């Protein structure tokens, strides 16, 4: 019946990513989410200028239907 | 064409017999429909049961593995799932918001202390996530119980119309239950949810500044924007808190004596089917959901001091609001920042005070 909409929703798989942003040069790095990540947490050193990055966003992105 | 064998007119006989279907259908039709409705609801019901059992199991798992509970937490958790909150009487509605607030506060306090006793890991994120998981498992438990009640009642009384109504809303119920079950995974991983978009925005103004507690689980920082003094508040992250923005805003205005020329609230809002996720709507009025206590408190203090309330809303579905924040919602944050800046510039002057409240569950969003 009307459960089809739920079923189609289920086919889309989501992967959660963490965005690390460098406050100095604005460089953004996207990597898969790791347990313990939260927004404003310190990330890795900036690949471009070596500054301390910060997690600016964590979001789920649809990957190809499984 | 006329079929004739041995003097019997079959066509006329079939024609006569076909009239029999009418009374048979009139008598048996409703029974057939009851049977079909029962079947349909029964299927949904067993799905709901699976969901509520899964949520319960996941909660027990989380409390045992991450929460490091000593002993078997299942009896305690089962007790929680049937926890009842008795709402105050409303035949004399005068002052009812205060009473609801009181009941809800007592419940929250009790849940938190009991969860705190249950889990050995005192990390506030773990405790708050356990609280939220219990809440979700309890909600699913309740949905299943209510649907089962009407299913059995309809079956017992053979009430076609009761079953028909249940059958009609069943897909929505299952969809909502699905959303709740989805939330379990997000909560367990402590990922920001769609509802956390308000806190994400507030967090950008608060990072690196002094925070002060303005209400239970609610923090505020003072910052500056183009000559305006901003009092930015959100629930304290990265715990799965929603805080008490109503109490917080009241505290800033009444206790701290701040005279804001505007209150700006940023929140997630339910989209209608067909609307795009991450669309932004602007408006006026207190943008906050829930039982209504916080909304009342904010409206009271705002109307008492004649402070306009502006709202910036980010559209999403229920499912999106309680599962990991979708890219579309996260990416709306830059647009919200632009709109927020414009609203501040348009609606206030240099030297003014502005209260900004990021409303929503702040799981995975610190400040
Ligand atoms: Zn850099």
Q: What is the mean pLDDT of residues B275-301?
A: 94
**Within this chain, do residues B97 and B135 fall inside the same structural domain, yes or no?**
yes
Range of B341's domain? 194-358
Q: Which residues of A touch B326 (CB under 8 A)?
A: 14, 59-61
Task: Kindly state the percentage of chain B with pLDDT values over 70.
Answer: 98
Residue B317 at interface with chain A, using a CB cutoff of 8 Å: no
Subunit contact A59:B319, Cβ cutoff 8 A: no
Q: Tell me the CATH number at B343.
A: 3.40.50.1470
**Within this chain, do residues B154 and B198 fall inside the same structural domain, yes or no?**
no
Subunit contact A40:B207, Cβ cutoff 8 A: yes
H or E stretch covering A6: helix A4-11
pLDDT band at A3 (very low <50, low <70, confident <90, very high): very low
Residue A32 at interface with chain B, using a CB cutoff of 8 Å: no
pLDDT above 60: residue A5: no
Q: What is the mean pLDDT of residues B269-295?
A: 93
Minimal CA separation from A8 to chain B, in Å: 12
Subunit contact A16:B191, Cβ cutoff 8 A: yes
pLDDT band at A6 (very low <50, low <70, confident <90, very high): very low
**Within this chain, do residues B78 and B183 fall inside the same structural domain, yes or no?**
yes
**Is there a domain that residue B87 lies in?**
yes
**Is there a domain that residue B6 lies in?**
no
pTM, two decimals, is 0.88
Pairwise CA distance, residues B286 & B293, whole Å: 12
Q: What pLDDT, on a 0 to 100 scale, did the predictor assign at position B25?
A: 84
**Within this chain, do residues B249 and B293 fall inside the same structural domain, yes or no?**
yes
pLDDT, tens digit, 9 for 90 and up, residues B5-50: 567 788 888 888 888 888 888 888 888 888 899 999 999 999 999 9
H or E stretch covering A55: strand A52-63
From B139, B165, B188, the end of a domain falls on: B188
From B142, B157, B188, the end of a domain falls on: B188
Subunit contact A14:B178, Cβ cutoff 8 A: no
pLDDT above 70: residue B61: yes
More confident of the two residues A10 and B194: B194
**Within this chain, do residues B123 and B108 fall inside the same structural domain, yes or no?**
yes
**Within this chain, do residues B84 and B204 fall inside the same structural domain, yes or no?**
no
Greatest distance between any 2 Cα atoms in chain A: 56
Task: Kindly state the percentage of chain A with pLDDT values over 90.
Answer: 65
Subunit contact A59:B329, Cβ cutoff 8 A: yes
Of B343, B289, B349, nearest in space to B312 by CA = B343
Most A CBs within 10 Å: which of B236, B319, B325, B358, as the mutation test of the A interface?
B325
pLDDT, tens digit, 9 for 90 and up, residues B155-195: 999 888 889 999 999 999 999 999 999 999 999 999 999 99
pLDDT above 90: residue B288: yes
**Within this chain, do residues B198 and B325 fall inside the same structural domain, yes or no?**
yes
From B136, B165, B188, the end of a domain falls on: B188
**Within this chain, do residues B63 and B212 fall inside the same structural domain, yes or no?**
no
Minimal CA separation from A51 to chain B, in Å: 16
**Within this chain, do residues B89 and B208 fall inside the same structural domain, yes or no?**
no
pLDDT above 70: residue B1: no
Q: Which residues of B touch A23 (CB under 8 A)?
A: none
Minimal CA separation from A49 to chain B, in Å: 21
Residue A34 at interface with chain B, using a CB cutoff of 8 Å: no
Q: What is the mean pLDDT of residues B101-123?
A: 90
pLDDT band at A4 (very low <50, low <70, confident <90, very high): very low
The rounded mean pLDDT for chain B is 92
pLDDT, tens digit, 9 for 90 and up, residues B69-93: 888 999 999 988 888 889 999 898 8
Q: What is the ipTM metric for this complex? A: 0.85
**Number of structural domains found in chain B:** 2
Q: Which residues of A touch B175 (CB under 8 A)?
A: 3, 5-6
């Amino acid at each position: 019946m009307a459960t089809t909409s739920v079923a189609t929703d289920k086919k889309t798989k989501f992967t959660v990513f963490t965005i690390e942003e460098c406050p100095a040069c604005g460089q953004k790095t996207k990597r898969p989410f790791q347990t313990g990540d939260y927004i404003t947490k310190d990330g890795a050193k900036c690949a471009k200028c070596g500054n301390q990055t910060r997690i600016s966003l964590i979001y789920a992105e649809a990957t190809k239907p499984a | 064409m006329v079929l004739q064998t041995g003097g019997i007119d079959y066509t006329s006989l079939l024609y006569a017999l076909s009239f029999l279907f009418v009374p048979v259908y009139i008598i048996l039709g409703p029974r057939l429909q009851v049977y079909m409705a029962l079947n349909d609801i029964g299927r949904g019901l067993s799905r709901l049961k699976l969901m509520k059992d899964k949520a319960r199991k996941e909660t027990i798992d989380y409390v045992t593995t991450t929460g490091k509970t000593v002993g078997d937490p299942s009896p305690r958790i089962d007790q929680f799932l049937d926890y009842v909150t008795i709402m105050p009487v409303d035949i004399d509605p005068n002052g009812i918001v205060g009473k609801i607030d009181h009941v809800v506060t007592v419940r929250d306090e009790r849940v938190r202390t009991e969860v705190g006793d249950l889990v050995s890991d005192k990390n506030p994120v773990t405790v708050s996530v356990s609280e939220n998981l219990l809440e979700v498992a309890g909600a699913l438990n309740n949905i299943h119980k209510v649907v089962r009640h009407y299913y059995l009642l309809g079956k017992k009384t053979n009430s076609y119309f009761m079953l028909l109504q249940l059958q009609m809303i069943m897909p929505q119920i299952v969809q909502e239950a699905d959303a709740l079950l989805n939330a379990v995974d997000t909560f367990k991983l402590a990922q920001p949810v769609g509802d956390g978009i308000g806190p994400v925005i507030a967090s950008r103004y608060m990072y690196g500044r002094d925070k002060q507690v303005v209400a239970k689980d609610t923090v505020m920082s003072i910052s500056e924007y183009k000559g305006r003094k901003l009092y930015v508040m959100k629930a304290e992250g990265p715990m799965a808190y929603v805080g008490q923005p109503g109490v917080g805003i009241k505290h800033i205005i009444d206790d701290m004596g701040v005279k804001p020329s505007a209150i700006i609230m940023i929140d997630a809002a339910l989209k209608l089917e067909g609307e795009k996720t991450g669309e932004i709507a602007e408006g006026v009025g207190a943008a906050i959901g829930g039982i209504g206590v916080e909304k009342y408190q904010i409206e009271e203090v705002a109307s008492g001091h004649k402070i306009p309330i502006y709202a910036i809303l980010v559209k999403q579905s229920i499912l999106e609001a309680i599962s990991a924040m979708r890219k579309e919602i996260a990416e709306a944050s830059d647009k919200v920042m632009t709109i927020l800046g414009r609203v501040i510039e348009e609606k206030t002057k240099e030297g003014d005070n502005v209260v900004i409240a990021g409303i929503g569950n702040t799981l995975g969003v610190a400040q």
